[in-house]
Amino acid sequence: MIKGNVLIGQSGGPTSVINSSLAGVIDAANHFENADAVLGMRWGIEGFMQGNVVNLSAESQSTIDKLRKTPSSILGSSRHKVQDSDFPLILENLKKFNIRVMFMIGGNDTMDTIHRVTEYAAAQGYEMCGVGIPKTVDNDLFGTDHTPGYAGAARFTALSVQQTGRLSRDMQKVDQFVIYQSIGRDAGWLACSAALGKKTEQDPPHLIYTPERDFDKAKFIADVKACYDKLGFVSIVCGEGLKYADGTPVSATETKDKFGNEEFGAMGGSSVAMNLHKIISDEFGWRGEFQITESMPMCAIDRTPQQDLDEAYKAGQTAMELAAEGTSGVMVSLVRESNDPYTCVMGTAPLEDVAVRAKPMPDDFLNEAGNFPSQKFFDYALPLVGDIEAYAELEYYPYEG
């Protein structure tokens, strides 16, 4: 590791643990004499190109400690897609601030950014290390067992669906169904986490639909009817990226973001939950509710397991340790060694692989009908999320006085 400054940025959507990874980098950098100062990008690579850099080494240790319990992206985030024309300016600022180590915390697009910056710098003869630190609540990042941030968002989802689903159960004489829309453009990791608090057949959710399986309207209607006939109400979870067999989004969105991805939720102008609500109402004439959470699971640090915070911090520390050894072009990965007891160690994955590949849920993580997670998913996710306490259930003894 050449003596110089360390640069770190946050990119993409926030999580409840991304600042814990930031703290891990800063704390670890204090142990390496070649790290002069830790600098932070304000507003990601976009801000860095404008020279918007802050001195994180000047912050008090008490502030750095608090980062481990602070949600969202404290440096400010960006979704800027780096263009080839951006690289000369990026390199100019790398030299200006004497950056010899660069970290970025984020998902696939972020890993693509740091990979391309590192490759460009090397091609120009500028010596530096680039290491990625994983982050995404969607859990669809290639090369890692799971991503820091997923467990907290999964726990938020499980609790939210348990609570709103029970409300629906108790209000079934008024509202016969409830729909919860989960974020997750291409993968159902978060939608399936809704079932992690389920203890009995009646407990919500009853049906879960994810982007890994094509949506079939007729089958959906039949599933809903069968569930209602059996339980008297229906709790449904849907992934925001649900599509019909021909590729048409169930949300009916026609909006694209800067990366060419379909926009869902508010930015897409419609939603899966809204359209599923209409399908049920038109078919059965029932009343019902729907919830669209958008960014709420990303910042719910009050529901985040301590394990998630600790793993995020360790990922930041590991990134600094790798750079100190001269390792570049990799992302820190989490490698699970055991489910029971749960153990996980830090590893690495090549940035060039992570940048261009995603990690959908394995097909056998869903049941044969494609409307609920299988036991394999529960085995995978429960060690991350932790136990979710069961709520009280009355026996409803008849009064015989």
| Cα gap 117→130, rounded to integer Å | 8
Is it the case that residue 254 has pLDDT exceeding 80?
Answer: no
Query: What does the pLDDT average to over 140-148?
Result: 96
Q: Cβ atoms within 10 A of the Cβ of 357, count? A: 14
Neighbouring-strand partners of residue 178? 235, 289
Q: What is the mean pLDDT of residues 273-294?
A: 94
Q: How confident is the model at residue 184 (pLDDT cuts 50, 70, 90)?
A: confident
Mean pLDDT of 157-179: 93
* Joined tokens for residue 229: 């006939």
What pLDDT shows up at residue 357? 85
pTM reported for the whole predicted model: 0.93
Q: Which is nearest to 312 in space by CA: 127, 144, 161?
A: 144
- pLDDT over 70, % of the chain: 96
Which tens digit of pLDDT belongs to each residue from 40-71?
999 999 999 999 999 999 999 999 999 999 99
Question: According to the model, what pLDDT value does residue 252 have?
Answer: 78
Confidence tier at 253 by pLDDT (50, 70, 90): low
Least confident of 216-230, 260-274, 294-308: 260-274
pLDDT in the model for residue 401: 81
User: In this structure, what DSSP letter does residue 163 have?
Assistant: H
For the stretch 229-240, pLDDT in tens is: 999 999 999 999
Neighbours of 117 (CB within 10 A): 23
Q: Token pair 């100190």 is at which residue? A: 324
For the segment 24-29, the average pLDDT, to the nearest whole number, is: 97
Residue 260 has pLDDT above 70, yes or no: no
Within 10 Å of residue 263's Cβ, how many Cβ atoms? 18
3-state helix, strand, coil in the chain (%, to 5): 40, 20, 40
What is the predicted pLDDT for the residue at 295? Answer: 87
d(CA 24, CA 312): 8
Taking CA atoms, 376 is separated from 130, 147, 191, in Å, by: 35, 18, 15
Give me the DSSP letters along 21-42.
Answer: HHHHHHHHHTT-TTEEEEEEET
> What rounded mean pLDDT belongs to the chain?
93
Confidence (pLDDT) at 77: 93
* pLDDT higher than threshold 70 for residue 276: yes
Q: Which residue segments constitute the domains of the chain, with CATH numbers given? A: 4-148+304-354 (3.40.50.450), 151-301+360-385 (3.40.50.460)
Query: Which pLDDT band holds residue 107 (cuts at 50, 70, 90)?
Result: very high
DSSP string, 315-375: HHHHHHHHHHTT--SEEEEEEEEEETTEEEEEEEEEHHHHTT-B-PPPGGGB-TTSSSB-H
Confidence of residue 115 (pLDDT cuts 50, 70, 90): very high
- d(C-alpha 215, C-alpha 239), whole Å: 11
At residue 360, the pLDDT reads 87
pLDDT of residue 95: 98
187-223 pLDDT, tens digit each: 999 999 999 999 999 999 999 999 999 999 999 999 9
**Which segments within 30-123 are labelled E, that is strand?**
35-41, 53-55, 99-106
